[in-house]
Chain A
């Protein structure tokens, strides 16, 4: 649960401004971007996601490095992605 996962913002939710659809390793899910209200991410930008909330904006190079790190740690990352897949945020 303590892992920050990088995701690319695909689109902002048309009705709920604090939600955005992101892609994490191809898994597309809604997350909450309310914590970045001072400087909301735009489609194409990358965020670090923590238990369904974007915690900070990151650049693409940082996202790639974070992803390489996560893929390297194996089971914990797979569990996190599996949990994200099951996520019901709306």
Chain B
């Protein structure tokens, strides 16, 4: 099944493919990482790799909120949810993430009171409606979602709500990028920067990548042409020997980000000394916890949380996929034991996960557009 010509402005895509191909130095290999799972999804949905010459490889980054949740945290959450006085609330994406003893969905089917919510504000309403129960919000996500949790906590505090708390698993994108840059496994040439995270944090936090590591970064929008345009901008920088942060998505992302959500996060949360990421291991200062001032809303303090570290299932190679060392289909269980219906690893759970994107759009074999095939030829 081919999706390649489905999207609008296919002519522009072909023109960009030709411009990208023209920038490839003969004999040089390029590895570009798209940090955000939303970008991964667009790339597979639209077969954008078919627009790129063989010498450019797109590496799928860790920017998928549920993909990076380690199994131990799922088990901790499950432990909280199993308390009879607790109502656990969670985003839909999180419901299928497997812990050592099944997922939230499995537990719910067995009678545990776990409710799916669209927004943390929905959890707040559940807390108001159930004053005799303790409502815990399973907070996950990067700087796009952390402000929503923060604002919800501020609201709960203003209302004086006593039975709402947060099991905080928010992570921050910059330390994960740094860990990848410092990883010996992988040599990257540039980054397609996340779009929605950057509406909050802006473009400045990426400057160290350009300055200290000499790699270009282009913050990109989510449409197919946005991504091709961003790849072109990265290739142009590389061909000119530049490494800068550029903003392809300036129509939505302000260079300086948005101070309101940053302040809300800063008011309610602080950095943890370290946090475990699935596949990436422990990364220092890479996640948020509830500030002491809001300890009455910190589920980790209110309840006993086992905090046991659980190794990922042996068969699962999400770690290698998240670091971009393996392509999803190179994993031993891809599409056989591990499918979106019965995921073993987190990358198969979320539509933003690289494995689910590959599985849904079946892109094991590439068929390049003519402009990309001609790369490096006279």
Contacts and interface: CB of A to CB of B under 8 A. Distances in A.
Contact of A83 (B118, B121, B144): B118
B252 interface: yes
Size category of the A interface is 35 or more
Interface string A47-90: 01011110110110010011011001101100110011011111
B151 A32 contact: yes
Interface stretch (B34-42, B278-286, B312-320): B34-42
Chain B interface bracket (under 10, 10 to 19, 20 to 34, 35 or more): 35 or more
A34 B267 CA distance: 15
A65 B144 contact: no
Contacts of A66: 222
A2 B92 contact: no
Contacts of A36: 258, 260
Q: Is the interface of A mostly helix, strand, loop or mixed?
A: mixed
Interface in B78-96: 91-94
B351 interface: yes
B326 interface: no
A51 B119 contact: yes
B259 A56 contact: no
B190 interface: no
B167 to A, nearest CB: 15
Interface string A10-25: 0000000000000000
Interface of B: 6-8, 37-38, 41-42, 45, 64-65, 91-94, 116-122, 125-126, 140-141, 144-145, 147-148, 151, 196, 199-200, 222-223, 251-253, 258-261, 264, 350-352
25 contacts: A1-B91, A1-B93, A1-B94, A1-B140, A2-B37, A2-B141, A2-B144, A34-B151, A34-B260, A35-B260, A35-B264, A51-B119, A51-B141, A51-B148, A55-B147, A69-B223, A72-B7, A72-B45, A73-B41, A76-B41, A83-B92, A87-B118, A87-B119, A87-B121, A88-B125
